[in-house]
Every structure is written in C-alpha cells, then in structure tokens.
Amino acid sequence: IVYNTHMAIWFKNYTLEDIKIPPTGIDEKLGIEIVEIGSDYIICKMPVDERTKQPMGLLHGGASCVLAESAASIAAFLVIDPKKKSVVGLNLLANHLKSARNGFVYATAKPKHIGKSTSVWDVQITNEEDQLISQISFTAMHKDI
C-alpha cells in the first residue's frame, strides 16, 4: 500500500493534545509518554533508568518491547473508528541491535499495512543520537465492539 503523504492516515485530525493523556499501568511504571504525532507516524519516548534496565545496566529488551507495543497500539487505535472497533495486539517481533545505558529511547511507529481487521506497524527504537537500538514489527487486530 502506498499512502498519500499529503493526507493523514488517522481516523480523524488528531493533535498531540488530543492523544497526550497521562500514562497509566505499565506505561506509567516505565515512564513512557507520547511526544509527537505526524501524518503517518507516532513517537513515544521512554527513559533508560532503573525501571527499564536489566541487571547488567543495559536497556532491557522487554522494556523496549513494551515501548514498541505502546507506540504501535496507540497508532493502531488512531486509525479506527473507536465507536465501532477496538484494538488488541496479535504479534510482536523484535530485533535488538544496539544497547543503551542512559538517556531516553524513542519509538517511531509507522504503518506497513492498514486493513479492515488488522494493521502491521514498523517500530524503530532509537537513542538520543538517532542510532537504531531495536527494530520491531507489531501486528494489531481491529476488533468489532
């Protein structure tokens, strides 16, 4: 699918203020927050700190997966009519390519496919120097309510 770069993919014209709600659950625990929305992408950030590191002091791969799923799930929700559908995750495939010890990491979720019942999202997690940390694919199901 080739997306029209002049038109947003979202169900309606969302702004950052529309979608920037206080985090809850695991997003709150890990310090994940939405920082940007574009015409075909969403970016979330997460600190690399004691909450998100494994015992050797590196960013935990599981924390990266949570960040990626959060970003892609939000994006998947923004392409559906929330009065008719909900979104649940079906699959996540992660490749961790580089480690991080501090600062923030950023997850950028972009669509690979948006269908009636599923969407597939490419999520790149980068550090503050824009180096690729993890490459993740996330599949969501768009479920009738």
- Quickly count helices (H) and strands (E) in the chain: 3, 6
Say whether 69 is catalytic: yes
Contact 26, 73 (CB under 8 A): no
Q: Is 53 helix (H, G, I), strand (E, B) or coil?
A: strand
Q: Is 122 helix (H, G, I), strand (E, B) or coil?
A: strand
Contact 31, 44 (CB under 8 A): no
Per DSSP, 59 falls in state: B
Q: Of 28, 36, 50, 69, which is the active-site residue? A: 69
Helix (H) or strand (E) holding 61: helix 61-78
Please choose, from the candidates 39, 32, 44, 45, the residue with its C-alpha nearest in 3D space to the C-alpha of residue 15.
39
Residues marked as catalytic: 69
